[in-house]
Structure 1
Amino acid sequence: MARRRRNRRRGGGLGATLLGAALIVAALAAFGVIGWLVFTESNKPGIDAASLCPEDGPRGHLAILLDTTDPVSATQLQLARNRVGALIEAAPDFTRISFATVRADAGGAVRSLCKPPRDASALTANPRLVAERYETAFLRPVTETLDSLLAVPQADSSPIIETLQRFLAAIPGFTEAGADTRREVILVTDLVQHSEVFSFYRGGDWTSFRASGAVDRLARNLSGAEVRILRLPRPAAPQAAVDDFWVRYLDAQGAARVSPSVLGDL
């Protein structure tokens, strides 16, 4: 009987040794993972304090052009606000979010910030500070910008194509982005172009646009970009000419894909 007890003690000692070894291996693996995370974080590019973008550039672009030069109902404004907000929410971290509005003078400053992470691991950052930066440095100014641009007053002209080109050219890194950098352009507009360069209200269409030589002036800076149109319906506009023009125009500018939807109010 005593011999069996000694055998059990030996077996228990071996089990304890194996368990201890397993715990040591697990601890070493955990320290290795933590060390790898810290090393990875420490070797990430720095963040520019003004733009919130990585110093080696954003991970993508979301360019939003808002057109309220013609009457827009409260329902349409709210739908636009909700859709654009959802697109910003869904954008990957460090996407550069840029805003502009169509103005009678085709001007207006471009407002642009990179979307920082909303949260972070406690192993590599301070989650509270990361959340505060997201709310105060990004979400609040983006929300205020969107609300102010949607409230831009009506105008006598709608230079959509001119404003779009100036907007894209003014976004840092947009036209130089490589094929592996996602670029998405959001147009909140009725698509009814009306300016000295080209106007649907003066009978303009793609044929007259091409005949004027304007096609040769196209920047073609939408090459590879996705274009999402949140359309504000305008029943009085020459619908067939408007639709045909924009299909051809966006194709000539190099857009990879165009996704239209309507912001109705009935």
Structure 2
Amino acid sequence: MARRRRGRRGRGVGPVVLGLSLAIVALAAFGAIGWVVFRESARPGLDVASLCPEDGPAGHLAVLLDTTDPVSTTQLQAARARIDAMIAEAPDFTRVSFATVSPDAGLRADSIRSLCKPPADVSALTGNPRLVAARYRDEFLAPVEGHLDGLLAIPEAGASPIMEALAEFLTAIPGFATDEIPHRVVLVTDLVQHSDAFSFYRGGDWQSFEAAGGTARLGRALDGAEVDVLRLPRVAAPREVVDDFWVRYFDAQGVARVRTATLGDL
């Protein structure tokens, strides 16, 4: 009889331990959920106009498009696909900015558009997935795609002030020169600078640019940035001179890394 009583007490230990274990797991799960909710609720709010967090963006993606010389449909499609992929890969809250190269200063200024990329989805525990997806689609993706379509459709012009447009563009992006966050600049261009200040068509090269005081005027807005050149091939200017110039230009501007890809049309 005594052994049976001891057996009954032994059998009762299992359910108690199991119950305690389940309670601990439940408390841990509720604690984790509570931490996630607290963390999400503590995040800074978004600026309505720019969609950027109040404490600033997570990074910069600045895209400058140069259609001052003829660009084929194939090249435009290739450029668009690469830019779309870069935007999709960019972390949430990256400030995405666009501008164009043009001899018309007013057009250059009007072409600048800058928005932060909001999250495309969210956990149902911390937000409303439907509303988050709608904001991404309607307030970010649609305006960006529409603006990009417009920039790619700008007709050719009689001059290509690439350096001037780039300097104005980067200066106009809020925080670009001062934010200590990743900076990525994308140039869709043939790199053939042609303006009153400097032109490859007039025999300009790095030496003549330097002799004319050009290096002293560089603002180093690209300091620490990564640059992607989506190059539109041209045969109108000496390739060696153009390449040598831009290698030196990017180095003088403090660029951390340069990647190049050719957008061919054959």
With the shorter chain as reference, the TM-score category is over 0.9
Provide the rounded CA distance (Å) in 2 between the counterparts of 1:188 and 1:13. 74
- Secondary structure at 1:108 match in 2: helix
Provide the rounded CA distance (Å) in 2 between the counterparts of 1:164 and 1:211. 21
Aligned-residue Cα RMSD (Å) equals: 1.2
2:238 aligns with: 238
139, 149, 152: which one aligns with 1:150: 152
What letter matches 1:253 in structure 2?
A: Q
2:37 aligns with: 38
Provide the rounded CA distance (Å) in 2 between the counterparts of 1:5 and 1:76. 87
Provide the rounded CA distance (Å) in 2 between the counterparts of 1:185 and 1:229. 8
Shift of 1:108: 2.8
- Secondary structure at 2:126 match in 1: coil
1:87 aligns with: 86
1:57 has 2:56 as partner:
yes
2:142 aligns with: 140
106, 117, 136: which one aligns with 2:119: 117
Provide the rounded CA distance (Å) in 2 between the counterparts of 1:77 and 1:10. 79
1:252 aligns with: 252
Shift of 1:6: 4.8
**Structure 1 residue runs without a partner (length 5+):** none
Shift of 1:14: 1.3
What letter matches 1:62 in structure 2?
A: L
2:170 aligns with: 168
**Structure 2 residue runs without a partner (length 5+):** none
2:212 aligns with: 212
Shift of 1:9: 3.8
Q: How many residue pairs align between the two structures?
A: 263
Shift of 1:213: 0.7
2:77 aligns with: 78
Identity %: 65
Query: Which stretch of structure 1 is more off in the superposition, 98-107 or 7-16?
Result: 7-16
1:99 has 2:117 as partner:
no
Shift of 1:38: 1.5
